[in-house]
Amino acid sequence: MILEKAFYNPFLIHSTDVMIDLLTDSGTSAMSSNQWAGIMQGDESYAGSPSFFRFEKTIQDITGFPLVIPTHQGRAAEKILFSILGGKGKYIVSNTLFDTTRANIEFSGAEGIDLICEEGKHPTVPAPFKGNMDVEALKTFIAQKGAANIPICIITITNNSGGGQPVSMQNIKDVKKICTENNIPLFIDACRFAENAYFIKLREKEYAYRSVQEIARELFSYADGCTMSAKKDAFANIGGFLAMRNEELAQQCRNLLIMTEGFPTYGGLAGRDLEAIAIGLHEVMDEHYLHYRIRSIEYLTNKLIAAGVPVMQPAGGHAVYLVANEFLSHIPVEQYPGQALVGALYLHGGIRTVEIGSLMFGKYNDDGKLIPPIGTGSPGHS
């Protein structure tokens, strides 16, 4: 009844009708006592508040990017960036674009191109860095389309739409080299930068004895800028930012920011939000916390594997991804097995989940036939 009334769309279910809400990690974190204390100390001056300068310095220290622009969420940062760099005839390349990132790119008239590595196309086959970009495919794509038509490359860490899988430092360095040779700026979608840095520590030998903070700093050093939703690895209930090195681009971003978000020292946020984000950005790099988070996901993933449920392997860092078209192999891809599973989980346990597959990312040919996204729609894919 509830499901029917919501048209089988989990986003339309009232949260009070949900028993276990696994829809997203976005903005749903319990903030720490320090963050709440920061909230009480927020300075709400319209311009030049000390809360902004604490926010700015924290992001400068973590990323090394000198220019920091607050926004109300990650997608606001994306909208600003791609309104400037996108446009008809342009291609924006990535490992895998998140849905809001792709939407903002496509809305600008540009095309979003996912160039995920081969390992990333096989959900149930484990590999350490399945979020990596396919470096050879990147070279070929640049040669085919021309570097002048590719205004930016953006790597999502960890790769949310690709199963929460990490990107290796080596891959970021390799992509950076190609971008530099072709004069293409490299940005990071940094929503889960700490999670990704911790995976690098665990899985890339030469980083085993480096702190998450050091790894993050090195990772950002290869990039020209980043977008971030502070609703993820800053544990804030709202917030985001853009950060970069190029003053001219930052000025263009600030000009757009003022029209929609606000003055450049608050950008759609209250002073207290800036405080909470600055504190959360430090706290997320605590390795005990990261261990707990990644182990929790691994624990549930392993239980599901033991129960014979096909899941994305290895476990990602912030979500468990069920491989719906293997789990519900009797449902053809045109009937959206992922969405059917979302409905079934709600019916059985009041569990709210989300489909990341053909419903979210599928395209249709001229005859209206579904073209499933890469990594989905064929046996063995989600």
Ligand X SMILES: Cc1ncc(COP(=O)(O)O)c(C=O)c1O
- Tokens encoding 124: 């149930």
Query: Using the rule CB under 6 A, is 189 a contact of ligand X?
Result: yes
- Provide the angle, in degrees to the nearest 10, between the axes of the packed helices 50-63 and 271-283: 30
**Which residue lies nearer to ligand X by CB, 58 or 227?**
227
Residues 131-160 that bind ligand X (CB under 6 A): 156, 160
Residue 117, Cβ neighbours under 10 Å: how many? Answer: 23
Binding letters toward ligand X, positions 47-76, x by CB under 6 A: --------------------------xxx-
123 in contact with ligand X (CB under 6 A): no
Contact flag: residue 120 with ligand X (CB under 6 A): no
Shortest distance in whole angstroms from residue 234 CB to ligand X: 10
Which residues pair with residue 176 across a beta bridge? none
Determine if 241 is a binding residue for ligand X (CB under 6 A): no
Q: Whole-angstrom Cα distance, residue 243 to residue 76?
A: 13
Q: Nearest distance from residue 143's CB to ligand X, in Å? A: 28
Q: Do 346 and 85 contact (CB within 8 A), yes or no?
A: no
Comparing CA positions, the residue from 73, 47, 45 lying closest to residue 260 is 73
The binding track of 4-33 with respect to ligand X, each residue x by CB under 6 A or -, is ----------------------x-------
Torsion sign across C-alpha atoms 30, 36, 42, 44: positive
Phi-psi region of 217 (alpha: psi -120 to 50; beta: other; left: phi over 0): alpha
In the complex, minimum distance from the CB of residue 198 to ligand X, in angstroms, rounded to a whole number: 16
The DSSP-derived string for 302-315 is: HHHHHTT--B-SS-
Sign of CA dihedral 127, 130, 136, 137: positive
**Which range in 44-52, 97-105, 118-126, 296-304 contacts ligand X by CB under 6 A?**
97-105
Question: Strands 91-94, 111-114: parallel, antiparallel or unpaired by DSSP?
Answer: parallel
Alpha-carbon torsion (304, 192, 97, 73), positive or negative: positive
Task: Tell me if 240 contacts ligand X by CB under 6 A.
Answer: yes
If you search the block for the tokens 């502070």, which residue do you land on? 230
Choice between 152 and 333, CB closer to ligand X:
152
Contact map string, positions 333 to 362, toward ligand X, x by CB under 6 A: ------------------------------
Nearest-CA neighbor of 117 among 127, 104, 108, 103?
A: 127
What residue is closest to ligand X based on CB? 74
Number of residues this chain uses to bind ligand X (CB under 6 A): 14
34 binding ligand X? (CB under 6 A): no
- Give the nearer residue to ligand X in terms of CB position, either 231 or 272: 231
Which of 103/351 has CB closer to ligand X?
103
Asked if residues 76 and 268 have their Cβ atoms less than 8 Å apart, the reply is yes
Quick one: 201 or 232, whose CB is closer to ligand X?
232
Distance, CA of 331 to CA of 334 (rounded, Å): 8
Instruction: Give least dist CB 104 to ligand X, A.
Output: 9
With binding defined as CB under 6 A, does residue 231 bind ligand X? Answer: yes
Range in contact with ligand X (rule: CB under 6 A) among 94-102, 283-291, 332-340, 371-379: 94-102
Residues that bind ligand X (CB under 6 A): 26, 73-75, 98, 100-101, 156, 160, 189, 191, 229, 231, 240
